[in-house]
Structure 1
Amino acid sequence: MSLLWKEIRDSPMLWLLLAVPVVFVAASVAPEAHTVLFILSVLAVIPLAGLLSHATESVAAKTGDAAGGLLNATLGNLTELVIALTALRAGQYTLVKSSVAGAIVTNTLFMLGASFLLGGLKHHTQEFNRANARLQAGLLFLATVGLLVPSAVASRDSGSATDVLHKLSLGLAILLIVGYALGLLFTLKTHREFFASAEHAETEESPWPLGLALSTLAGVTILVALVSEVFVESVQQAAEVFGMTPAFVGFIVVALVGGAAEMASAFSGARKNRLDLSVGIALGSASQIALFVAPVLVVLSYVIGPTPMDLQFPPGVVVMVFLATMTAMFVTNSGRSAWIVGILVLMVYMIFAMTLYVLPDRGHEADPERVGARLGSVPW
């Protein structure tokens, strides 16, 4: 525990941990001060992300970058899962789908692109195990196919289309979960030798003991989930003050803040020439959301939701997920990276963000499903 306190004492960024209890006090005392709660929750996530980053690197030093990246992605996605379960119980399926799709695109493009850029600014070129990247990108492509088919079925003008869509979505959800489980078996058990990290990583100066690192991961993940709940409750009203549309907030802002902890670990790994850790977190998190979190939400909707949820996403959203997957497959094919690769990937993400930002907010037209329908009509 003394190592943890030393880390907090020596890092000015971690002094922002004082914002964590302030967020909870402010949320109970002034729950209507949405703009203040929004700013405080963002400030609280920053130091928590820093702690999660150091803990993840310590775990990866003991278990390897592949397992470390998977663990970080899993714990990081608990935030998205908690948020989605809350919305699922309330029957807000549009919010659930928007947060899921936004997290997939943000992790695939922003987190991966920024990792390439930050690592490339310090190192001339970087190498990573392309076998792992190829597998994660392939899993993402599988998920994209799973999203395309329900959208095609939903376009049928048939009275039984809704029943068919629900049955198909449930079957696809189970199939995607099985595919994700088999992917884990392949990477962690039967062919784990193919996914060894590239031998170019800098030596970790002072990794924490495994017990401290794991307990920190668990504790910080819980705090991030609690702070994220405050953030989600305040972000919509605060967004109006800052002039952001609901589509932009759901697809971009919520995804960025929800993935802040994972991003801190990915960016730190890239700067230390541990690009396998960064790629594993970015693509591993995206594929886990697409192949596990989203299908599990479909299954759970039959238990805790008011009605069953399907896997039909707006056409524009499906297009964005598909293009993000193709971009990831393209830039990770060589197993090498430089800063310009990160710039190109971030440009794709900024095109999406700019499109969502300039879309007009016209009452009900700001609904993400209607926004997706408008995007889907654009001849991309």
Structure 2
Amino acid sequence: MRDFHDRRSIVPPPSAANAARAALSELRRTPLLVLILFVPAVILLEQVSPEAHTLLFFLSVAAIVPLAALLSRATEAVAAKLGDTLGALLNATLGNLTELVISLAALHAGQHLLVKASIAGAIVTNTLFMLGGAFLVGGLKHHLQEFNRVSARFQASLLFLATIAILVPSLISEVDRVPAGTFSQQLSLGLSLLLIAVYGLGMLFSLKTHRELFASGGHVDEDEKPWPLAVGIVVLVGVTLFVAMVSEIFVGSVQVAAQRLGMTPAFVGFIVVALVGGAAEMTTAFSAARANRLDLSVGIALGSAAQIALFVAPVLVLVSYFVGPEPMSLQFWPGAVAMMLIATMAATLLSNGGRAAWYAGVMALAVYAIFGLTLFLLPPSA
């Protein structure tokens, strides 16, 4: 009888057992969550050895990846409980929260080059690396895949509009030799308000007045159960705080670490921050492509890029008037503008037909590799 009671005493209660099973299920669904161990490691290292910039840089990069995955999952869980319209609005607003928090930390530190590089890099990474990778991964399993080309054209058009808005301040200051100070800031402020308004009207168009044009095969797995609303909100708030902490460490170490590793903040922002911040979305896009749900992959890639260009970048310009040493403008260096334009045109061409095969992915990834190699070997000056 004593042995029986002893065995019963070590059996976890049902709630703990359910929580353990849920955690294991979530870990199997998102293997990137294993990297969550780097979060306390980088926070502890920053307290013990703040001068270890290179190690802090690598640990913070590894820590941001699982936090981004949790943010994405929590956002989906909260959005699923709010209905289609409010859920889609929340998903669109918080979909790039990781990149936004990292950029805010860099903005507070006055590293405008890193912020602009991360914005341009996120746009190019989503339109070339994520979209090309989805085409390649899906095409290797399926001979030919189809997707909603109306939705893809709409997102590509929004992206092209935002790229033009970014091109204008840089082009005017270069060609007309206009003083870059007050004019650039005033123009950037007006363009930011315009882009946010266009983004809001675009969401009204796609989610309300013409939503039938953007129908797809569905975005949720039947076997996947969303988290309870309370759990989603708690995780969303908690993980956002951790992302802010790790982002501060990342921004504080990136400059010294980049110099030691032979990189510049421009390369780190354009390539590293974009890949790390979009890791969770890339995992979802690639998995959807393998499952022959290319609508979801294309929507994530182009929708995220358009959201960064039309919403995240303008918001950062507005916030820079209250955070950081001086306001930030939308004036990018010519190389970044050229890369964003080329990436936008490539995405338009790739999504024009509504069909994809694996070699289309190879071409998009090749363009991305050209950009990455160019930035690494010949980075732009501040």
Q: TM-score range by the shorter chain?
A: 0.7 to 0.9
Larger deviation, residues 37-46 vs 327-336: 37-46
User: Given the superposition, is the C-alpha separation of residues 55 and 81 from structure 1 closer, same or farther in structure 2, using an over 3 Å criterion?
Assistant: closer
Where 2:50 maps in the other structure, the secondary structure is coil
* Structure 2 unaligned spans of 5+: 1-14
The residue aligned with 1:91 is 110
1:21 CA displacement: 1.6
Aligned with 2:223 (options 184, 193, 205): 205
User: Are 2:131 and 1:112 aligned?
Assistant: yes
**Equivalences for residues 241-256 of structure 1 within 5 A:** 241-256=260-275
* Structure 1 unaligned spans of 5+: 360-365, 370-380
Aligned with 2:51 (options 32, 52, 56): 32
How many angstroms apart in 2 are the aligned matches of 1:69 and 1:276?
16
1:156 CA displacement: 4.8
How many angstroms apart in 2 are the aligned matches of 1:55 and 1:122?
30
**How much is the aligned-residue C-alpha RMSD, in angstroms?**
3.1
Q: Deviations over 1:203-246 (max 9, x none)?
A: 43232345245654554444344333333333333334443344
The residue aligned with 1:187 is 206
Q: Deviations over 1:247-270 (max 9, x none)?
A: 322211122112223222322332
How many angstroms apart in 2 are the aligned matches of 1:165 and 1:69?
33
1:54 CA displacement: 5.3
Q: Given that residues 169 and 311 in structure 1 are in contact (C-alpha distance below 8 angstroms), is that contact kept between their aligned partners in structure 2?
A: yes
The residue aligned with 1:338 is 357
Q: Given that residues 147 and 294 in structure 2 are in contact (C-alpha distance below 8 angstroms), is that contact kept between their aligned partners in structure 1?
A: yes
Q: Given that residues 131 and 298 in structure 2 are in contact (C-alpha distance below 8 angstroms), is that contact kept between their aligned partners in structure 1?
A: yes
Q: Deviations over 1:30-82 (max 9, x none)?
A: 22222322332233334445545655676788889998787555434222222
Normalising by structure 2, we get a TM-score of 0.82
Aligned with 2:281 (options 251, 262, 274): 262
**Equivalences for residues 136-151 of structure 1 within 5 A:** 136-151=155-170
Aligned with 1:8 (options 4, 17, 23): 23
1:100 CA displacement: 1.3
User: Given the superposition, is the C-alpha separation of residues 282 and 368 from structure 1 closer, same or farther in structure 2, using an over 3 Å criterion?
Assistant: farther
Where 2:96 maps in the other structure, the secondary structure is helix
Aligned with 2:306 (options 287, 303, 319): 287
Larger deviation, residues 19-28 vs 207-216: 207-216
1:314 CA displacement: 1.1
Where 2:327 maps in the other structure, the secondary structure is coil
How many angstroms apart in 2 are the aligned matches of 1:114 and 1:62?
31
The residue aligned with 1:78 is 97
Q: Given that residues 9 and 15 in structure 1 are in contact (C-alpha distance below 8 angstroms), is that contact kept between their aligned partners in structure 2?
A: no
1:138 CA displacement: 0.5
Larger deviation, residues 341-350 vs 53-62: 53-62
Larger deviation, residues 69-78 vs 320-329: 69-78
Aligned with 2:242 (options 182, 202, 223): 223
Q: Deviations over 1:268-293 (max 9, x none)?
A: 33233332222222211211111112
Larger deviation, residues 52-61 vs 190-199: 52-61
How many angstroms apart in 1 are the aligned matches of 2:48 and 2:181?
45
User: Given the superposition, is the C-alpha separation of residues 8 and 178 from structure 1 closer, same or farther in structure 2, using an over 3 Å criterion?
Assistant: same
Q: Given that residues 107 and 285 in structure 1 are in contact (C-alpha distance below 8 angstroms), is that contact kept between their aligned partners in structure 2?
A: yes
1:8 CA displacement: 3.2
Aligned with 2:195 (options 161, 164, 176): 176
User: Given the superposition, is the C-alpha separation of residues 226 and 91 from structure 1 closer, same or farther in structure 2, using an over 3 Å criterion?
Assistant: closer
1:188 CA displacement: 1.1
How many angstroms apart in 2 are the aligned matches of 1:90 and 1:51?
26
1:165 CA displacement: 2.6
Q: Given that residues 281 and 300 in structure 2 are in contact (C-alpha distance below 8 angstroms), is that contact kept between their aligned partners in structure 1?
A: yes
User: Given the superposition, is the C-alpha separation of residues 218 and 101 from structure 1 closer, same or farther in structure 2, using an over 3 Å criterion?
Assistant: same
User: Given the superposition, is the C-alpha separation of residues 247 and 88 from structure 1 closer, same or farther in structure 2, using an over 3 Å criterion?
Assistant: closer
Q: Deviations over 1:86-140 (max 9, x none)?
A: 3333433222222211111112111111122222223333222222211111011
User: Are 2:363 and 1:348 aligned?
Assistant: no
1:186 CA displacement: 0.6
The residue aligned with 1:373 is none
